Amino acid sequence: MTPSDNNTTHFGYQEVPISEKSEKVADVFHSVASQYDLMNDLMSLGVHRLWKRFAIDLCGIRKGHRVLDLAGGTGDLAEKISRLVGTQGEVILADINNSMLKVARDRLLDRGIFENLTIMQADAEQLPFTENYFDRIIIGFGLRNVTHKEKALQSMFRVLKPGGRLLVLEFSTPTLPGLKSIYDAYSFKLLPLLGRVVAKDEDSYRYLAESIRMHH
Ligand SMILES: C[S@@+](CC[C@H](N)C(=O)[O-])C[C@H]1O[C@@H](n2cnc3c(N)ncnc32)[C@H](O)[C@@H]1O
């Protein structure tokens, strides 16, 4: 989880100066923002919706809770959470990338979700909240994109109430024998191809596949 040496870290399979990683990640999400939701549905055949629902169930969110959807992107987790916390609760959707947040803002407004929701541009490594602020924090497919993961985890721990719950939703690698070669073909052939055809951006979807492999 630590950068690979003192001055460099990984960006997918590339070794890059630490100071450049966040900009490279930002470029990826600026580029894919407008097609992000469509691509998620195509890449997972809609299954990402089930993973997200499962993750939210594990959070044990109740009415009145204050919940942070960190690296919340285009806001599909925040949308579900907003319904669960109700009008006495609060959801803060925070992401470092303003292109993703613009898509989130339009989507959530279109669906009438604004009363208990705040959208905020923030870096997971330096969360701008007071200590013990949240009942629950969820970070979906976000942690692997952060440069200093320990710093981000410390920051989340600081703003989480004692007894609160943090849920990190991330990809893993298949353990079933025989599945690896199919998964490799899917990751390194199909994903970049879909990226090229649909999002007009093959490199960002290659990064996606590589970043999953590089994540612990
Ligand atoms: C793969 S998207 C996940 C979006 C959404 N949570 C989902 O599940 O679909 C990763 C998100 O992490 C955000 N991100 C990357 N680094 C971040 C950081 N340091 N702080 C906050 N958000 C970050 C990106 O801008 C991007 O929106």
| Ligand 1 nearest atom to the CA of residue 33, by list position | 27
Measure 177 CA to ligand 1 centroid, in angstroms: 31
How much of the chain, in percent, has pLDDT values that exceed 90?
88
Ligand 1 atom 4 nearest Cα: 73
Whether residue 148 contacts residue 158, with contact meaning beta carbons closer than 8 Å, is answered with no
Does the CB atom of residue 123 touch ligand 1 within 6 A?
A: yes
CA-nearest of 78, 5, 16 to 211 is: 16
Model pLDDT for residues 155-196, shown as the tens digit of each residue: 999 999 999 999 999 998 888 888 988 999 999 999 999 999
Backbone angles phi, psi at 156, to 5 degrees: -65, -45
User: What pLDDT, on the 0 to 100 scale, is given for residue 1?
Assistant: 41
Contact 63, 86 (CB under 8 A): yes
The CA 1 to ligand 1 mean position distance, Å, reads 17
Query: Does ligand 1 lie within 6 Å of residue 90's CB atom?
Result: no
CA-nearest of 211, 205, 203, 216 to 43 is 205
Q: Which amino acid residue places its CA nearest to atom 13 of ligand 1?
A: 71
Binding site membership of 82 for ligand 1 (Cβ less than 6 Å): no
Q: Please tell me the predicted confidence (pLDDT) of residue 5.
A: 56
Residue 90, token pair as written in the block: 């609060």
Give per-residue pLDDT as tens, 18-66: 989 999 999 999 999 999 999 999 999 999 999 999 999 999 999 999 9
Cα 185 to ligand 1 centroid, rounded to whole Å: 25
What's the pTM value of the predicted model, to 2 decimals?
0.94
Q: What is the predicted pLDDT for the residue at 2?
A: 46
Q: Is 25 in the pocket of ligand 1 (CB under 6 A)?
A: yes
